[in-house]
Amino acid sequence: MKADSEFIPIAVPDLGDVEEQYVLDAVRSTWISSSGKYVKRFEAMFAETCDAKTAVSVSNGTAALHLAVVALGLQPGEEVILPSLTYVATANAVHYAQGVPVFVDVDPATWCLDPEQIESAVSPRTKGIIAVDLYGHPCDMDRINQIAAKLGLWVIADAAESHFARYKGRPTGGLTTVTTFSFYGNKIVTCGEGGALTTNDAELDRQLRLLRNQGMDPDRRYFFPVVGYNYRLTNVACALLCAQLERRERLIQRRQEIFGRYRRHLEGLPGLGLQPVAPWAQITPWLFCVTIDAARFGRSREQVVALLQQNNIETRPFFIPIHQLPPYAVNRGVNSYPETERLSASGLNLPTFTGMSDAQIDRICAILAAAGR
């Protein structure tokens, strides 16, 4: 394969005529800030999609996580259990509230927080759990909710990567106390930046909306009973999201086709592992994931990345374990994270976007097949 072949990026948003029409409508209406018809429309559409009573739009997924821990009452010094294998925003949101993230390992069958490790991580200061749907795979929420109820803990589902995934037939977004989402540019639906929270708790919904809007009393303008945040999402961004939600079935279908083609090409290659899917899960086809066993494949993950880069193909390594990052290294050596560390060292995201051609997938897979032993 020639090094000057067409560049294949890791992700490209799928934006079409409907998105352009709705954004133009929002701009022409002059409602370009955090009020307007598309904000309410998006929140109603997204809540229905998630089988939740309400959705609260916010400026990004990290803001959604921060609002969730604050609204649930996390106090300085209190602890929250979360997986070490996740994007750093999950831990940062706890840190913003002066809480303490406590890391546990992930389950090799799902790559998500291992429910069996929760109880051993609990201390008298533990207040909650953040369960992360890693790379589009939902957590075992029934088991996590059961353990949390027994221990008197709240649960946040971090579904930043799992829009439209299903757990035992139910969509992510209505499976626990509150769920957070991201609409960053590489997500399956996007508005560039943006986020949302879904919940079935009317009082929690009220608190989230209060905190999102600087803490201003909704019934008394410029009266602020609490300190809040400017985490609102714009009407223009929500216009984009409304269009994306209307087109979601086509977006999901094409990504499922891409996942299927990758799997058919790559299944069975010695040393190349594919993302596991639990029998009760339907994952979001976000980024196609593989793991590289260097001894069996014949090349390390880094060598595969370099080879694909030489062929103008962009990739992403899996997240660095949060317990290995300088701000959170205080946990280093306290617990064991063998599965987290194995996946982080071997995992690779391959290009996945609805505009990908079959020929591009075939090209990537041919290079991988030729690279192995």
Q: How far apart are CA 237 and CA 231, in angstroms?
A: 13
Q: pLDDT by residue (tens digit) across 131-178?
A: 999 999 999 999 999 999 999 999 999 999 999 999 999 999 999 999
Q: How far apart are CA 131 and CA 83, in angstroms?
A: 7
How confident is residue 1, by pLDDT bands cut at 50, 70 and 90?
very low
Share of the chain above pLDDT 90, in %: 95
Cα distances (Å, whole numbers) of residue 269 to 135, 298, 347: 21, 11, 15
Q: pLDDT by residue (tens digit) across 179-233?
A: 999 999 999 999 999 999 999 999 999 999 999 999 999 999 999 999 999 999 9
SS3 348: strand
- Say if CB 367 and CB 265 are below 8 A apart: no
DSSP 260-272: HHHHHHHTT-TTE
Q: How far apart are CA 268 and CA 270, in angstroms?
A: 6
Q: What pairs with residue 181 in β-bridges?
A: 196
Domains (range + CATH), the chain: 17-246 (3.40.640.10), 248-371 (3.90.1150.10)
For the segment 126-134, the average pLDDT, to the nearest whole number, is 98
Cβ neighbours for 217, distance < 8 A, ≥ 6 positions apart? 210, 223, 224, 225
Strands 195-199 and 178-182: antiparallel
Q: pLDDT by residue (tens digit) across 17-49?
A: 999 999 999 999 999 999 999 999 999 999 999
pLDDT for position 373 = 66
| Encoded tokens for 260 | 């299927």
Q: How many CB atoms lie within 10 A of CB 121?
A: 17
- pTM for this model (two decimals): 0.96
How confident is residue 334, by pLDDT bands cut at 50, 70 and 90?
low
